[in-house]
Structure formats: structure tokens, C-alpha cells
Structure 1
Amino acid sequence: MVSSPNAKVLNIVKSSSDHSLLILNSGDPSAKPPKKFSFDKRWIGMAGFSETVQRAWKSSVQGTPFFKLKENVKLTRVALLQWSSSFHTKNQLLIQSLTQKLEDLRANKTSSNWNDWERTRKDLNSAHHFEELFWQQKSKFKWLKEGDGNTIFFHAFVQHRRKLNAITRLVSARGEEFFTQNDMEDHISDFYSHLFTSEGTLGGEAIIHLIPKTITEDMNQVLTQPVDAAEIKSTL
């Protein structure tokens, strides 16, 4: 399930048989929802962070104060995403490189490379901590301080939470089922386009005669007659 977080099993009931047909769908990797922006607290204190925020916030924007504020927030968000786009990948590559270097130093341990081994070990611990912070924020789960092994757990928890939030099937009022991303999007669009569209009333005529009349014909004629200038003047 870690390698295929979008996988699901469909149970298809066949009326001609007492057995159900099971269909395994590994998921549609191309149908991914747009990612939401979230501030990464690891950025604080990193080289280039303050300069990126200041440069984006001071961008020239024309319009009302509220529009300027909204655009500055948007520009800052885009600038931070561009600035940090490769941090996670670079950190993973750094962990691999430092781990390999540490193994090489351990295999050829001598008194001359002891300082190099200790420095590499500290750098690797720092890289692991950086990785843990990433998945700690992603998981939205209580962090357990048990070392870098937690990264796998929190990565799996993130994938599980995304799967719980995913919509894999929709059923229309007529009982039609929709499974693919495009079919579900079309059904949602069609549903809301008709939701507030008047299609007449059903059964209203059957209860109208039960409502008592409080407006007489004479009263109705007075209420619906045109308003003249004298009446308006007397009212004012």
C-alpha cells in the first residue's frame, strides 16, 4: 500500500451469479489534486529565506490596499515555493551521500580519519533531523521522539490520510455510479449546475386550496391599482 497509496478494490455484484467480481485498481497517477501551500518551519533561519520574503513583499503592486495585500501574499507564496522547490530532494540525496561516506569511513577506520568520521556523523544526524521535520509537518500527527526511524512511519501516515480524504466513487440520485476522475468531475459540475435551477414545483397545487384566503377581491383591486402622484405626495 505504500507503493500504491491510491489502490482500491471494487466489489462488483453480478445478478447472474452468487459470486462477486473483484477488480483491483492501482489508482490513476495522473489525476492528482493541486497541492496546497503550507509554510515550512524549516525555512526559518536558512540562507536566502529573509531575502526571498522581503524581495517578494516589496514588489510593486497597483490597486486598493486590500488588493495590494492579497497580491503581496500571493507573490510571497510563489517566491517561497520556487526558492524551496528542490530542498526536500536535495536533502534526500545528501542523506544517501553521507550514509555511504560514513560506511566507507567505518570500513577504513584509522586514527587519521576519526575527525572526518565524527563530522560526517553530525552532518548525517542533521540531515535526518531536517527530513523528520518535513514529515512531522506533513503528517499532522503527534511527533514521537524516537530517532530517524520515525520518518517511515510518518510518511506512511501522510499517505494513509491522503487516501482517507480521497473521493473514489460518487452515486447519482438515479443510482448511477462514477469511478474515474473525469466522470466524477462531470457529475459534480452537472449536479451543482442544476441545484439552484428551478424546474417547477411538484404537488403544490394539491395544497393551495387548503390555505385560507385573507385578501378579498376588493382589497386586491386596491392593492394592485396604479399609484398616482397625489398619493405619493400625501404619503411624503
Structure 2
Amino acid sequence: MWLANSRCREVVEAAWRSCVSLDPNKEILGKIEKCGRDLTWWNYNVFGNVRRELKKKRDVLVEEEAVALRTGSNVRIRELQREINELLDRETRMWTQRSRILWLKNGDGNTKFFHSRASHRYRKNVILGLNDSHGVWKEGPSEVAAILIHYYSDLFSTSNLPTQHEALSHIPQVITDDMNSELTSRFEEWEVLQALKQMAPMKAPGPDGMPPIFF
């Protein structure tokens, strides 16, 4: 939805240029983090809330229609109708993206359907709380995150390390040294680009909050 506005690119470019670090890894992470903060601010303060803007435009349209009845001029009405149509299109795109419907391209104006899908997806995926290892119910976001991290850290770790070599000795080796060398080699730029292009552009973002289309 943001890509329909030319200011989105300007915000990203300005944020990307402003973050400089001697450490390349920290610089990239800093650039992405700043882009996220600046885009959030821009969305709230400049791009605007779609529903709020729609209500404003519709209220103004009612007033201008009354003025047009007295003056006979409907230039302002046509302008407002165009702006309202753009906002309606933006609203449809917003709910299409939130609903994660990938089998339907932009163009369908059935916003209520997309809103329903997004609401259903949220209700299905939201985690209200979890029981910790002691059976105590926790609801805070940080507490839930800590429970999940502890659970999977414990799941994928072991306290019986000496036996792993005995177990692994019974597993036949199918990866050759050449294959292992290729698997552990550094990623090439073309591989990263290929992986990004194979992703759905608006799929769930990673830990940095950015969807594939950003990269």
C-alpha cells in the first residue's frame, strides 16, 4: 500500500543514507531499524489513517454538495470523489495485505471480505498467554516470549553430551567432503537475490519487522 505513494521511497532512501557505522554488519542492521522507525512515523503522521481520512473526505463532500446546489459548480465535488476513490483503493489494498490472501490480485473492492479474513487470521494466530515450566499462567508479551525462548532452547539442547558420538557413529554418512564444503561456503549475492525473489513479497516479516518486498 505504501508503494503507491512516492514519498515512501524518499523516506527509505533518507533513512538508509543517514545511518553510518564502521562495522558493516551493524551498519546494515542500523539502517533497517531506522527505516522501520521512520516508515512507522511517516505512516502515522503523513500517510495517514485510511479510515480517518475517508471520514474526513466524506464529511467535506457532504458540505460541498450543499454548496454546489447553491452555486452550480461541482469542480470541488469531482476532486473529492477522486480522492475518496483513491482512499477506498488504499483501504482495499491494506486489508488485502493484512488478510494474507495470495491467490487474488489487487483490484477486488470487497474490503469486508479481506477485513473478515484478517480478523480471522488474527484470532487464530494470537497468543493470549502460556503456562511456564512450573505451570504458572503468563500473559505479558515479554513473559510469553521468554517462555517460548526457554522451551525451544531446552528442546534443541541436551544435557547428555557424551552419548552423541555413539549415536552418530551408527548413522551412515551420505554428505561427501565436497558437498559439505559447498553447503558451508559463504552465500553468494545471486543466491540471496534468488531466494528473495522466490518469496511472496508481503509474507510475514522477519525479526527486523521488514517483509521481503522491502529488501
TM-score by length of 1: 0.51
1:59 equivalent in structure 2: 18
1:42 equivalent in structure 2: 4
Amino acid at match of 1:85: Y
Mark the CA change 1:120 to 1:70 in structure 2 (over 3 Å): closer, same or farther: same
2:120 equivalent in structure 1: 160
Percent of aligned positions with the same letter in both sequences? 20
8 Å Cα contact 2:3-2:9 kept in structure 1: no
Relative to its length, the structure with more strand (as a share) is 1
Aligned-CA RMSD value: 3.7
Mark the CA change 1:200 to 1:152 in structure 2 (over 3 Å): closer, same or farther: same
Unaligned runs of 5+ in 1: 1-38, 205-236
1:102 equivalent in structure 2: 61
Mark the CA change 1:199 to 1:83 in structure 2 (over 3 Å): closer, same or farther: same
1:132 equivalent in structure 2: 92
Task: Flag the structure with larger Rg.
Answer: 1
Equivalent pairs, count: 158
Amino acid at match of 1:83: W
8 Å Cα contact 2:131-2:138 kept in structure 1: no
Deviations 1:131-189 (A, max 9, x none): 22222222221247443xx2232122112112211235657899x58474577556545
1:68 equivalent in structure 2: 27
Amino acid at match of 1:118: R
1:84 equivalent in structure 2: 43
Aligned-pair distance for 1:98? 1.9
SS at match of 1:83: helix
C-alpha distance in structure 2 between counterparts of 1:189 and 1:40, whole Å: 33
Amino acid at match of 1:119: E
SS at match of 1:62: coil
8 Å Cα contact 1:169-1:177 kept in structure 2: no
8 Å Cα contact 2:15-2:31 kept in structure 1: yes
C-alpha distance in structure 2 between counterparts of 1:115 and 1:131, whole Å: 25
1:210 equivalent in structure 2: none
SS at match of 2:55: helix
Aligned-pair distance for 1:128? 1.2
Aligned-pair distance for 1:108? 6.1
Mean Cα deviation higher: 83-92 or 180-189: 180-189
8 Å Cα contact 1:169-1:179 kept in structure 2: yes
8 Å Cα contact 1:42-1:133 kept in structure 2: no
C-alpha distance in structure 1 between counterparts of 2:93 and 2:16, whole Å: 26
Mean Cα deviation higher: 96-105 or 180-189: 180-189
Amino acid at match of 2:11: T
Amino acid at match of 2:29: K
Amino acid at match of 2:27: K
SS at match of 1:198: coil
C-alpha distance in structure 1 between counterparts of 2:132 and 2:13, whole Å: 50
Deviations 1:3-62 (A, max 9, x none): xxxxxxxxxxxxxxxxxxxxxxxxxxxxxxxxxxxx83234x23xx34422322222522
